[in-house]
């Protein structure tokens, strides 16, 4: 079986390295929680594209101007490489001081003592609702502060649609999966060879949304709660998109799924649409040079309209290994609360989790950021409550998912068999971790 090696290797290596972490003794208990007057060097790690790197460096420059004794060394990479590097560094007790964290890995790093309890550090979280802060807690301690939130959207290249004479349906606010498939088929039929209407569904985040449409959820505490029948339907939906021609053949998907953002099919005009957090419109506009519109994810005929939610785009965490927790906290506080930093970052990491910061950035938003804000605000009346962070043992859920999806897409197994295997393997991973 051919598996996208970069995608699986990044997740699997990260999970393997995490298992090597000790549950105690990771932190540097002798580190001072008071700011130093002497020179301090901090390392700051994040993943993302060029736009994120450029904006973050501008914020670092501002921070260093405010704290001239602190030097911040940036460490960034794409998503796949990031987690392997972070897990290896953490296991080797050489993690960056300030870490961009994702909900997929939060429980694993927190449970193994790799993150500092942020309640004990001087970080102003007054601009965040308690419900938002809860998304960064594990076992009641605050190990990660949500940077932003974002709702889900179908990103659509309207320049491509215009060039082939196809438009979006009149009412995408309540379209069904069948209507979406039909529209995507129409795009493929009208487009040049090698250009497709959409991409397949993939990943645990999209599965979570799909499950919520039918009244289920991915996890309930330490149990996999989604039914095998719903997972099978999810796999079948992706398979049907490929069979109908709405999406590219399995071989194309397999070969392109782990490419960098600026080389993905949507970025190079080979796919007219795909599902992503709405705020990624900025990165994909820059990569593609195209006009992009945001429309809601399709739903089942009688699906729950509140399936979507404001998902934390990412978090800031501080390594428990940091020798300078006070300075690291000052940097996180600056990233969260400084008005100029807020304006520079804009909505690139998602809409600011603080409504105060969201109001602050609105006048200076780019056209793409304005679209992201308008779209998310339009979705607020139908958004549901965010689920709890994934339980310990699920950091490799996407690697498991991709393995079974690959089998289904190449029709080596049925969606039903793959779904049963996926649920069993994820539950086994959770049980082993606990």
CATH number at residue 272: 3.40.190.10
Please say whether the beta carbons of 145 and 125 come within 8 A: yes
Query: Are 129 and 208 part of one and the same domain?
Result: no
Report the domain count for the chain.
Answer: 2
Is the residue at 30 inside a domain? Answer: yes
Domain-embedded: residue 379: no
Residue at 385 is within a domain: no
The values of phi and psi at residue 176, to 5°, are: -100, 170
Give yes or no: residues 320 and 241 share one domain.
Answer: no
Q: Are 322 and 406 found together in one domain? A: no
| Residues 108, 237 within the same domain | no
Residue (of 271, 268, 206, 256) closest to 2 by Cα position: 256
User: pLDDT value at position 304?
Assistant: 95
Structural domain of residue 330, as residue ranges?
Answer: 5-149+313-368
Residues 258 and 212 in one domain: yes
Which residues does 53 contact at the CB level (< 8 Å), separation at least 6?
A: 74, 76
Cβ contact 241:200 at 8 Å: yes
Q: Torsions phi, psi of 148, nearest 5? A: -160, 170
Q: Are residues 67 and 173 in the same domain?
A: no
Instruction: Choose the final residue of a domain: 325, 348, 368.
Output: 368
Are 145 and 157 part of one and the same domain? no
Q: Tell me, yes or no, whether 207 and 162 share the same domain.
A: yes
Six token digits for residue 246: 């709405």
Residue 434: CB atoms within 10 A of its CB come to 10
Distances (CA, A) of 45 to 29, 95, 127: 22, 9, 24
Query: Do 318 and 220 belong together in one domain?
Result: no
In a domain, 386, yes or no: no
pLDDT of amino acid 348: 80
Task: Classify residue 141: in a domain, yes or no.
Answer: yes
pLDDT of residue 251: 93
> Is residue 384, in this structure, part of any structural domain at all?
no
Q: In b/e form, how buried is each residue of 175-198, taking b as 16+ CB within 10 angstroms? A: bebeebbebbbbbbeebeeebbbb
Task: Based on the fold, state whether residues 177 and 236 are members of the same structural domain.
Answer: yes
Contact 365, 346 (CB under 8 A): yes
126 and 271 in one domain?
A: no
pLDDT under 70 in the chain at which residues?
1-32
pLDDT score for 13: 45
For position 32, what pLDDT does the model report? 66
In a domain, 374, yes or no: no
pLDDT of res. 28: 52
Question: Would 160 be classed as within a structural domain?
Answer: yes
Q: In 67-102, which residue ranges form alpha helices assigned H by DSSP? A: 79-91
330, 353, 368 - which closes a domain: 368
| Structural element, H or E, at residue 316 | strand 315-318
CB neighbours (10 Å) of residue 19? Answer: 14
Over pLDDT 70: what percentage of the chain? 93
pLDDT at 31: 62
Q: Which pLDDT does position 80 carry in this prediction?
A: 78
Q: What is the pLDDT of residue 24?
A: 39
Asked whether the beta carbons of 277 and 376 are under 8 A apart, the reply is no
337 and 282 share a domain?
no
The mean pLDDT value of the chain amounts to 90
């Amino acid at each position: 079986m051919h598996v996208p090696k970069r995608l699986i290797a990044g997740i699997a290596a990260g999970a393997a390295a995490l298992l090597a972490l000790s549950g105690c003794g990771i932190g540097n208990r002798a580190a001072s929680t008071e700011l130093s007057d002497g020179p301090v060097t901090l390392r700051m790690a994040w993943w993302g594209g060029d736009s994120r790197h450029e904006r973050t460096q501008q914020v670092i420059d501002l921070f260093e101007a405010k704290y001239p004794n602190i030097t911040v060394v940036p460490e960034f990479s794409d998503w796949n490489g990031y987690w392997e590097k972070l897990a290896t560094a953490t296991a080797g007790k050489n993690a960056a001081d300030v870490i961009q964290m994702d909900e997929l890995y939060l429980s694993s790093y927190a449970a193994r003592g790799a993150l500092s309890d942020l309640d004990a550090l001087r970080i102003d979280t007054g601009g965040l609702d308690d419900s938002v802060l809860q998304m960064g807690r594990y076992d009641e301690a605050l190990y990660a502060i949500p940077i932003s939130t974002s709702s889900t959207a179908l990103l659509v290249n309207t320049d491509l649609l215009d060039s082939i004479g196809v438009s979006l349906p009149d009412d995408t606010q309540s379209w069904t999966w069948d209507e979406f498939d039909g529209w995507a088929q129409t795009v493929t039929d009208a487009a040049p060879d090698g250009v497709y209407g959409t991409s397949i569904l993939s990943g645990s985040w999209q599965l979570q949304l799909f499950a919520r449409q039918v009244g289920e959820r991915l996890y309930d505490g330490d149990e996999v709660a989604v039914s095998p029948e719903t997972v099978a339907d999810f796999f079948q939906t992706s398979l049907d998109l490929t069979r109908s021609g709405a999406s590219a053949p399995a071989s194309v998907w397999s070969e392109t799924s782990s490419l960098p953002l600026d080389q993905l099919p949507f970025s190079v005009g080979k796919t007219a649409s795909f599902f992503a957090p709405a705020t990624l419109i900025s990165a994909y506009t820059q990569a593609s040079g195209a006009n992009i519109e945001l429309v809601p994810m399709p739903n089942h005929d009688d699906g729950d309209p509140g399936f979507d939610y404001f998902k934390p785009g990412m978090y800031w965490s501080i390594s428990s290994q940091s020798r300078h927790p006070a300075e690291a906290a000052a940097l996180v506080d600056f990233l969260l609360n400084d008005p100029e930093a807020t304006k520079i970052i804009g909505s690139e990491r998602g809409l600011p989790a603080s409504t105060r910061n969201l109001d602050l950035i609105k006048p200076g938003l780019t056209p793409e950021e304005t679209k992201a804000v308008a779209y998310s605000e339009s979705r607020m009346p139908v958004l549901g409550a965010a689920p709890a962070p994934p339980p310990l043992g699920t950091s490799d859920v996407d690697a498991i998912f991709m393995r079974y999806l690959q089998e289904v897409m190449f029709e080596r197994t049925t969606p039903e068999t793959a779904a049963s295997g996926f649920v069993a393997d994820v539950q086994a991973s959770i049980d082993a971790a606990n």
